Structure 1
């Protein structure tokens, strides 16, 4: 048996255990292990190759399905952990276009991080559109179906906790806000978990001296032009259309906005590095960001779009490249 096989199997089991910590320890203690539960899967692939990563993903699905004794729970693990791991590994271990034999010490020989991020960001929109197409017919359309489902789940949660039933006006407001934001926020959280797990797995692989590709220069990351065009088209659809089409477009636009939000963070870090006290400035920035998260997210997306347009101009002038 190749030595990579037991390591990959162990990585899959470790991932399943981390994912199950939310169920065992509760949301307070289990949140952090759950958040990084896909790291072992990605780490197996980044150190042992795609085959080991695929085996780790399969082992994780089987292990979590056996732990939970639920097909639905196994599917949730498949979507939230296995799917991003497979996408990341298929792209991260790919050479850059036009490079037949990438060198392990040359970041520019490997698939650029901006392209990986943009392609990874396509997964939640595809899932949202697929869910919209498969949703049962409802007289209120997709939003009506989600409102009924969320309202019923909210009522059950309140009844189980022994709390008083919400008055109709408050309940309708809660359900309405949840319907408007839930798909997009789930898309963003899926992508944030995937990005953090990928970066953390690469950092661990590099620290171990087993990384198959060099760590990318994140500060030089650029979002590809096609991603900006796609985001613009979807945003226009969300503004121009109502009903299910406008709702799906709005949710998809929220998911597609994350690469530009990360560009905004990159811009903040680049500015902070030019000051005498970058650590202090970044600390203040993140405190403010967490304090006014909704407005801060919008501000970072707008800043990222400005950086994206500036990068396009530099690329057109031949003055920018991504490693």
Structure 2
């Protein structure tokens, strides 16, 4: 068991937690400083003192910039937990199987602190002690806002002509649409579509017109694929999810922070291609919380292209409607890797 060091990528995990879903995927913590307090048990006197200090200090933390995880190795803590112990910016991870402890190289009987930065890298490691809680919270509060890092994404104008954008919008407006679900996975690992309006408010229309599909693909192959090859040294040869989407200001259309390749049904995807079809709306910027608070909004017909592994979100549309075309690009190699990983996961069940 090797302890993490400052500068290391933070190990990612999914563990039982005090969220409404009962579990937490730690890769969703990007974009804020994450304070992890590892405790053998909340009944341990030293651990309890550290936890009490955290609770008293929570009102001094900006929860838009940082949050706290209490990582307990004692299964009795889970049973004893009551909802009134919860507060904004504070979550409990129930780590009785020591999954998180082992990933971070923390012994089950130890009490220590780890701080992960917004890019999911280890920023601070500290043993617990009389002043540790105060020092960790002060260090975190002193960090500058995370907002101006460079983004590893392409911003391309003129991917689609105005006439073709209008044709796609007209198609959306004359076809049946549906609420866009969140692609996640069930406990058995199988793909699962879930509607969660607190996280995603968007309507989609599947593009079934063969001529429009062919014309859209031709423009992406001609104008986007060469730029992906040049910038990322990766050649994509296939596309999926040919849809037209609408984020409506009437219901503050938005999409919370997510990645596009984390579940089995999407693991083959390499790049997301987000093409705006209009610009008569307010809000709706695309953001990448791991890197910056800066929003991206290409002009009508322009696109943002980025790795499906990047955490991203769409800010609420506050007026008008944002129409967009949102395909994914991949290749034979990524498809084969995803199938192999899926087969290996099935063999371990």
Q: Name the TM-score class by shorter chain.
A: under 0.3
Give the alignment's TM-score, normalised by structure 2. 0.21
The structure with the largest alpha-carbon Rg is 2
Give the structure with the larger helix fraction.
1
Give the structure with the larger strand fraction.
2
